[in-house]
Structure 1
Amino acid sequence: MTSKLQIYSYSSCSTCKKALKWLQENNLNYTLIDITQNPPEKEMLIKAMKDLGSRKSLFNTSGLSYRALGAKVVQSMSDSEAIKALLSDGKLIKRPFLITQEDKILIGFKPEIWAEALLV
């Protein structure tokens, strides 16, 4: 099974490691992108925010960058300020951040959701 998946990942992230292992076990081809060096483009973050119906789901709320910024600061941001913050620090983005060849966006790793989206 071939696919043009793009996965934004962070090498120290245990969830990302599980997701990459799952992709390999399911013989799915992907392009690996370091989320800290090359975060998803602004248009993809905006699309993800619209698709998910909330910007909170875009943030890695358990990360140091998020805690340093503070939940109250993030909650008080406008959508455009939130996108700007995410673009400025890839560690703020919940990962893994996967873009399917149909431009569907999956954030975080839930094997059952990934299987439903990718193993059809």
Structure 2
Amino acid sequence: MIKMYGIKNCDTIKKARKWLEQHQIDYQFVDYRQDGLSAQLLTTFSQQLGWQNLLNTRGTTYRALEAETKANLTEQAALELMLQQPAMIKRPLLQLNDTYILGFNTDTYQKLLED
């Protein structure tokens, strides 16, 4: 079963969900805000993808952080911030078995789902 993690009102999530539905691919959507996110699952994401890749530095939530916080960010601090404010996690995050894909790219999705 494919799982997509993210936030329901995110434009990129909407595009990715639409693509999956157009290709008649079943998936389970997990909304960080509604369904929650455990520290253990976030740690798994970090181990698979790297915490720097997981951190959404382009979003308004990250940009609102103080410069000192950004400059001194460690893995542990970043994971704590992402747990407190899931909007700081890049999205979508797609999981198919032990494969994790961050972001939405039609070519990447097509290749993953053909295998």
With structure 1 as the length reference, what TM-score do the two structures score? 0.80
Offset, 1:29: 0.9
**Relative to structure 1, is the Cα distance of residues 39 and 110 closer, same or farther in structure 2, using a 3 angstrom cutoff?**
farther
Residue 69 in structure 1 maps to residue 65 in structure 2:
yes
Higher helix share: 2
**Relative to structure 1, is the Cα distance of residues 59 and 96 closer, same or farther in structure 2, using a 3 angstrom cutoff?**
same
Alpha-carbon separation, structure 1, partners of 2:77 and 2:36: 16
Q: Partner residue of 1:110? A: 105
Partner-residue secondary structure (3-state), 2:69: helix
Question: Any gaps of 5 or more consecutive residues in structure 2?
Answer: none
Q: Which amino acid aligns with 1:66?
A: Y
Superposed, 1:33-52 pairs within 5 Å as: 33-52=30-49
Question: Any gaps of 5 or more consecutive residues in structure 1?
Answer: none
With structure 2 as the length reference, what TM-score do the two structures score? 0.83
1:84 to 80, 92, 106: 80
Q: CA RMSD in A?
A: 2.0
Q: Partner residue of 1:31? A: 28
Q: Which amino acid aligns with 1:115?
A: Q
Q: Percent identity?
A: 30
1:16 to 2, 8, 13: 13
Aligned residues: 115
